[in-house]
Amino acid sequence: METPCMPALEMSPAVHATVVSDRREPAPGIVIVGVRAPQLAASIRAGQFVMAVPPSGERVSTALGVYEVEGDRVSLMLVVVGPRTRELALLSDGDSLALLGPLGNGFDCDSLGDDVALVAGGVGVAPMLLPARDLVARGARVTLYYGARTARALVDIALFEAVGATVVTATDDGTLGHHGYVTDVLARDGARHSAIAACGPSPMLRSVARVARQLDLRAQLSLEETFACGVGACWGCVVPLDRSSAQAPKFPDAAAGESRDYVHARICKEGPVFWAHELRW
Amino acid sequence: METPCMPALEMSPAVHATVVSDRREPAPGIVIVGVRAPQLAASIRAGQFVMAVPPSGERVSTALGVYEVEGDRVSLMLVVVGPRTRELALLSDGDSLALLGPLGNGFDCDSLGDDVALVAGGVGVAPMLLPARDLVARGARVTLYYGARTARALVDIALFEAVGATVVTATDDGTLGHHGYVTDVLARDGARHSAIAACGPSPMLRSVARVARQLDLRAQLSLEETFACGVGACWGCVVPLDRSSAQAPKFPDAAAGESRDYVHARICKEGPVFWAHELRW
Amino acid sequence: MVDTQPSLATNLGGLLLSAPTLMGSGCYGSGEEYAPFIDLARIGGVVLKSVTRLPRLGNDAPRLVPVASGLLNAIGLQNPGIDSYLANDVAKFADRPCAIVGSVAGFAIEDFGDVTERLAARAEIDAIEINISCPNVAHEGETFACDPKLAERATQAARARTKKPLIVKLSPNVTDIASIARVVEAAGADALAVVNTVRGMSIDVDRQAPKLGNVTGGLSGAAIRPIAVLAVWEVARAVRIPILGQGGIETARDALEFVLAGATAISVGTGNFTDPRAPITIADGIRAYLAARGCASIEEIVGAANPGYLARR
Amino acid sequence: MVDTQPSLATNLGGLLLSAPTLMGSGCYGSGEEYAPFIDLARIGGVVLKSVTRLPRLGNDAPRLVPVASGLLNAIGLQNPGIDSYLANDVAKFADRPCAIVGSVAGFAIEDFGDVTERLAARAEIDAIEINISCPNVAHEGETFACDPKLAERATQAARARTKKPLIVKLSPNVTDIASIARVVEAAGADALAVVNTVRGMSIDVDRQAPKLGNVTGGLSGAAIRPIAVLAVWEVARAVRIPILGQGGIETARDALEFVLAGATAISVGTGNFTDPRAPITIADGIRAYLAARGCASIEEIVGAANPGYLARR
Ligand SMILES: Cc1cc2nc3c(=O)[nH]c(=O)nc-3n(C[C@H](O)[C@H](O)[C@H](O)COP(=O)(O)OP(=O)(O)OC[C@H]3O[C@@H](n4cnc5c(N)ncnc54)[C@H](O)[C@@H]3O)c2cc1C
Ligand SMILES: Cc1cc2nc3c(=O)[nH]c(=O)nc-3n(C[C@H](O)[C@H](O)[C@H](O)COP(=O)(O)OP(=O)(O)OC[C@H]3O[C@@H](n4cnc5c(N)ncnc54)[C@H](O)[C@@H]3O)c2cc1C
Ligand SMILES: Cc1cc2nc3c(=O)[nH]c(=O)nc-3n(C[C@H](O)[C@H](O)[C@H](O)COP(=O)(O)O)c2cc1C
Ligand SMILES: Cc1cc2nc3c(=O)[nH]c(=O)nc-3n(C[C@H](O)[C@H](O)[C@H](O)COP(=O)(O)O)c2cc1C
Ligand code: FES
Ligand code: FES
């Protein structure tokens, strides 16, 4: 994952003391929080993430993708699932919020070809706006396959259309688009694509990997896992990865003669984006 | 503590599902939250308290005095000192909040005579508005001795004046009223009073008790202590009390022949208001 | 999906419960204190506050310290002693529309026998729980629950004096709780309560002194939940008698962790201080969970996440 | 008030620290991962991730579960093994502008001796901490830290092979931590790290299975703070060597609880995951606390709330 879509200002990660500038709730339980974060906005690349420091302490930080980037402002999309996302969703204008970032290696947009399928499940849509924008900007055709439980949870479709992506939807309950999984639509219509980039819950990503194999396409998957440090220090967020992957950390065999063909890679450090065919799930 | 100032609708305590109707912040770190709670408003008596259920769970409930009561509305005054008061202070209009109450035995206003000194330190002013109003209503002269760290923390003086109380202030830093402790003023000027009722941090209440002894006045003290249940179930909030007090719970001697002249009374159940001369601090 | 409501009834070592939700000893008084807030007929039962041979004034204040996701307490077993308790308190428990479990604490082996016998003799009492997390005054102050021999003898002493269901409450403050559980089972317990509070303390940095009057106390609440779930998991693999799970239960999902680990019933302590409606929302939540999975009874899921438990039944 | 800034410098069993704030093993990598976020010159030191004789792939995912006010982890000591570590990693630690403590874990007594010797021989390493919270494969899997004899032998094995300061890290999962501490002191430890994680588990009620790949894990974070403060308090009364306090420290006031209980220095683990600036705000807060009380050095307040500690020094 060497070349990002749009070469951003190369800057090492830092703690950014940001201030909330705006907040909207496009659907119940989904909150988009905008913050002023000039350095972060200047340096973040598609698919990288930040760690949000909990305003009250007492909990570990939360990994969040970066949704929009415009000028000095970046926004975060929160789906409230537990105490940390609940607390962050309560932030309002003027509140301060510390963010660590940019972290991890994002999507390698240059390797995705000219007709890219972006696949997003639920909050997995958050890190998809930046690659959609960047891919369109370099002339690629972009289709966003976007699935959620129900129509209301499919947020901001117009925003993706505005950056030039075609949006194909699916809902578990059939209230919008295909009635069923978005990966079914991908399997049916996806053969024409040059490559896939996906983000969403693990079961969806496994299904994307299967479909990609069937369609003989390469797929970049942004994995979800519970993080503690988010910076590669604790080895809490691993996934088994081909030893031959360019992203694989160097690691000796466990014992002489006992050669394993995979290593544990840190999702926060070597990822969060991996090539589907290199994962040993 | 038999007869309350104004005989309120006798009603057993309950869980009240209330909704926040208003919120103001009279000084930094002090928040007044109004809720719609018709049954509670109809039944609460001066000096009783409620337990506020934490909106997020994971913490024990918080004991709070009831500040204002008007029609269906009661209000709570919060001084943010820790995680529970911080969370409650974040409540905003329309949020729901469960309150248990009314709890405990309040002030016995009828026993306070005709020229009552109310003494409040910091957030100890919260449960003082109801007795001030009730005492004035039954014709007593009421002086509120009100102390805080600094002028800004002396909130709502006008509200106490509006119900007919004279307000005497003191601040630790001398920014308003007497420069020093409010109990110094009481010691100097308090001889004319018929009795004292006080609420505030423990050191202040101990000092009120000393002053009351010097002035030969009876004093009712509303004690502060960490509560867990607030309903008399856990015996976590005790204070040593004269065995002869009318409020003393029945309790046998620890062993034959070993007669103790005090018992542990529950502040939440037998109190929170006790006669100063009956406490065995 | 099943047509009828799943059953929450369960059998805890001979104690029949209409719901698997008991209220923890020391946290619910005698039930009456909470009666204004919830309908006691909808809970499984109340474990009464522990009673001792002699009256105890308890520890000096402060007795409670709120800590992160929990509570430290050092009440010191304040109670009127068994004589006064039998004379003045027990008759009132007859009114409670749920199971009533007497709790017995002691500082000598004989205490467990004597107090258990006198309390269990009363018709108002459906079962006895012995709280063995106290120091043995005759044995260098060693805690009964932390020494296999002492735990065994306390259990035997109580067992010999009642035929009512006998629950023994274990402490998590041990190197190997499963070995203590096995000894207590062999000594005749009908069920095990797992677990009591975890030892802890907190220091007031302004006063440079411990916050609790008693210096040390017991940690309870959500903070200890992972410790308690593991204790249930390990005990469930070691014994065949049923387990009453407890430690930080506030919601139905919390309670289900204990049931899936191998608890037949659960107990809510500190959770009542968070919200007294917890026992009702927990029972309702468990019922909904069972219904969604087509289970007719809670007994179908006891230990379902614990292969070591299932292998032993 | 003192005119000059109070000193935070301290001596942990021969390890000289410019600040009393170390970063806990396994939570701070090698320091380099956090270098973009804070100035490492302002912390006392880093305790490196534990290294073992052979490489270890570690446990299956998931390895982390967030719980109330804390974290459950089961990393399984993933590390490249001492050969690769010496060849590829240790030289990098020379850059770190703070003390570097190597951490050694083992599954056999010999591991502690051999790995300690090889690691301590390197100039980049200022001191060794041994992590004895691992099962002894030759001894029915009993944990070194939970058995006095095993803890003693592991300590002796490491002690015999280095003259650098030796810190032994104790486990809270024991009936009596003070007795283990005494044995380890007698076996030659220069300081004690108190405490490692508390054993716990969490169950996914939807999948009806444990959440951690390894089933059980270690609980850390604010949830265990009262347990850890008590452990420090009890160990401080039992030994004369200094204590490195840890368990749930996030703020200066948290850290001061440990210092007042008897810790000479403290370690921040999970607190870094909450906010990587914690070590700096903690050091600043301690300095302000000392200044407000007119103390010239942190050493003046070590154990100030623990009479039993003060009596032994
Ligand atoms: C690289 C990366 C980027 C991420 N980006 C975002 C983002 O932009 N926005 C965002 O909202 N989240 C994002 N996440 C996920 C987010 O970090 C977690 O959902 C968060 O840690 C939840 O914290 P919590 O305390 O609210 O809930 P937790 O306490 O962690 O979980 C609460 C409960 O919800 C369950 N749960 C957890 N996650 C989910 C889920 N996704 N759906 C349903 N149930 C769940 C858990 O099993 C648990 O029972 C990202 C994660 C990663 C690794
Ligand atoms: C009968 C009764 C009525 C009460 N009425 C009110 C009320 O109307 N409004 C209100 O705000 N509070 C009231 N209190 C006090 C309130 O219940 C406690 O302050 C509350 O429990 C604090 O919870 P917390 O989680 O915010 O802080 P905690 O975690 O309990 O405490 C945080 C820190 O602050 C310290 N601390 C605690 N209380 C104070 C204090 N008063 N001043 C300075 N430091 C403190 C503690 O030592 C601790 O270090 C009342 C208490 C009682 C017993
Ligand atoms: C204030 C308080 C008092 C307690 N008193 C007793 C007691 O008298 N006897 C007993 O066996 N357990 C007692 N306990 C322990 C509880 O019954 C329970 O085992 C423990 O708190 C863990 O559960 P929880 O986290 O749900 O509270 C007490 C706990 C608290 C918090
Ligand atoms: C993710 C993680 C990894 C850890 N790895 C190690 C380790 O390799 N060696 C060790 O001695 N302790 C390890 N620990 C324990 C910590 O160093 C520390 O003792 C414990 O977490 C308690 O402190 P805390 O609450 O500040 O985290 C680890 C803890 C965590 C959370
Ligand atoms: S979360 Fe710590 S290494 Fe990834
Ligand atoms: S707080 Fe439980 S008895 Fe008062």
pLDDT digits (tens, 9 = 90+) for C202-234: 999 999 999 999 999 999 999 999 999 999 999
Residue A236 touches partner D, C-beta closer than 8 Å: yes
Are A235 and D78 inside 8 Å of each other by CB? yes
Q: In angstroms, rounded to a whole number, what is the distance separating the alpha carbons of residues D240 and D182?
A: 9
Spatial CB neighbours of B199, under 8 Å, sequence gap ≥ 6 = B47, B65, B119, B120, B121, B124, B125, B126, B127, B128, B205, B221, B222, B224
**Residue-wise pLDDT tens digits, A35-88:** 999 999 999 999 999 999 998 888 899 999 999 999 999 999 999 999 999 999
Q: In angstroms, rounded to a whole number, what is the distance separating the alpha carbons of residues C241 and C231?
A: 15
**Is pLDDT at C192 greater than 60 in this prediction?**
yes
**Residue-wise pLDDT tens digits, C227-273:** 999 999 999 999 999 999 999 999 999 999 999 999 999 999 999 99
**Is pLDDT at A5 greater than 50 in this prediction?**
no
**Residue-wise pLDDT tens digits, B206-217:** 999 999 999 999
* C-alpha radius of gyration, chain B, whole number: 18
Q: Output the CA angle D282-D198-D249, nearest 5 degrees.
A: 5
Residue A256 has a pLDDT of: 53
Choose the closest CB to C219 out of D205, D226, D304. Answer: D226
**Is pLDDT at B257 greater than 60 in this prediction?**
no
Spatial CB neighbours of B185, under 8 Å, sequence gap ≥ 6 = B145, B168, B170, B177, B178
- Overall pTM surpassing 0.90 (yes/no): yes
CB under 6 Å to ligand 6: residues? B 227-230, 232-237, 266, 268-269
Residue B253 has a pLDDT of: 74
> Phi then psi for D153, rounded to 5 degrees?
-70, -35
Query: To the nearest whole angstrom, how far is the Cα of A87 from the nearest Cα of chain B?
Result: 9
Give start and end residues of each alpha helix (H) in chain A: 38-43, 83-89, 129-137, 157-162, 182-189, 202-215
Q: In angstroms, rounded to a whole number, what is the distance separating the alpha carbons of residues A105 and A102?
A: 9
Atom of ligand 4 nearest to the CA of D26: 5
Query: Which of B17, B96, B233 shows the shortest CA–CA distance to C277?
Result: B17
Residue B16 touches partner C, C-beta closer than 8 Å: no
Q: In angstroms, rounded to a whole number, what is the distance separating the alpha carbons of residues C28 and C35?
A: 10
Low-confidence spans in chain D with pLDDT less than 70: 1-3
Residue A263 has a pLDDT of: 92
Ligand 3 neighbourhood includes C171 CB (under 6 angstroms): no
Which ipTM did the prediction report?
A: 0.95
Q: Which domains does chain C show, CATH number per domain?
A: 10-312 (3.20.20.70)
Higher local confidence (pLDDT), B58 or B160: B160
What H or E segment, with its residue span, contains residue C112? helix C109-120
Are A250 and D83 inside 8 Å of each other by CB? no
Residue C309 has a pLDDT of: 95
Q: Is the peptide bond before A131 cis (omega within 30 degrees of 0)?
A: no
Residues 171-230, chain C, touching B (beta carbon < 8 A): 221-222
Q: Which two tokens stand for residue D99?
A: 């003390």
Spatial CB neighbours of B65, under 8 Å, sequence gap ≥ 6 = B47, B49, B76, B77, B126, B127, B199, B222
**Is pLDDT at B66 greater than 80 in this prediction?**
yes
**Is pLDDT at B259 greater than 90 in this prediction?**
no
Q: Which domains does chain B show, CATH number per domain?
A: 14-103 (2.40.30.10), 109-224 (3.40.50.80), 228-270 (no CATH)
The mean pLDDT value for B107-127 works out to 96
Q: In chain B, pLDDT over 90 holds for what percent of residues?
A: 88
Please tell me the residue having the least CA distance from ligand 3 atom 28.
Answer: C26
**Is pLDDT at A253 greater than 80 in this prediction?**
no
Other C-beta atoms closer than 10 Å to the C-beta of D299 total 16
Q: In angstroms, rounded to a whole number, what is the distance separating the alpha carbons of residues D192 and B242?
A: 48
Residue D313 has a pLDDT of: 79
Average pLDDT for chain A: 92
Q: Which ligand is nearest to the CA of A54?
A: 1
Q: In angstroms, rounded to a whole number, what is the distance separating the alpha carbons of residues C55 and B275?
A: 26
Query: Which of D100, D101, D115, D196 shows the shortest CA–CA distance to D158?
Result: D115
Please indicate whether residue C146 is annotated as part of the active site. no
Are D69 and C72 inside 8 Å of each other by CB? no
**Full DSSP string of A158-226:** HHHHHTT-EEEEEETTSSSSEES-HHHHHHHHGGG-SEEEEES-HHHHHHHHHHHHHHT--EEEE----
Residue C126 touches partner B, C-beta closer than 8 Å: no
**Is pLDDT at B8 greater than 90 in this prediction?**
no
Number of helices followed by number of strands (H, E) in chain D: 9, 16
Average pLDDT for chain C: 96
**Is pLDDT at A11 greater than 70 in this prediction?**
no
The model's confidence at residue B256, banded by pLDDT at 50, 70 and 90, is low
Are B252 and C81 inside 8 Å of each other by CB? yes
Please tell me the residue having the least CA distance from ligand 3 atom 19.
Answer: C196
SS3 C17: strand
> Phi then psi for B96, rounded to 5 degrees?
-100, 155
Q: In angstroms, rounded to a whole number, what is the distance separating the alpha carbons of residues D89 and D86?
A: 6
Residue D73 touches partner A, C-beta closer than 8 Å: yes
What is the total residue count of chain A? 281
The mean pLDDT value for C35-49 works out to 95
Are A58 and B83 inside 8 Å of each other by CB? yes
Cβ contact D51:D79 at 8 Å: yes
Atom of ligand 2 nearest to the CA of B201: 41
Give start and end residues of each alpha helix (H) in chain D: 81-84, 109-120, 148-159, 177-186, 225-238, 252-261, 270-274, 278-292, 307-312
Output the CA B78–ligand 2 centroid distance in Å.
Answer: 9
Residue B9 has a pLDDT of: 47
Residue C140 has a pLDDT of: 77
Residue C164 touches partner B, C-beta closer than 8 Å: no
Q: Is the peptide bond before D62 cis (omega within 30 degrees of 0)?
A: yes
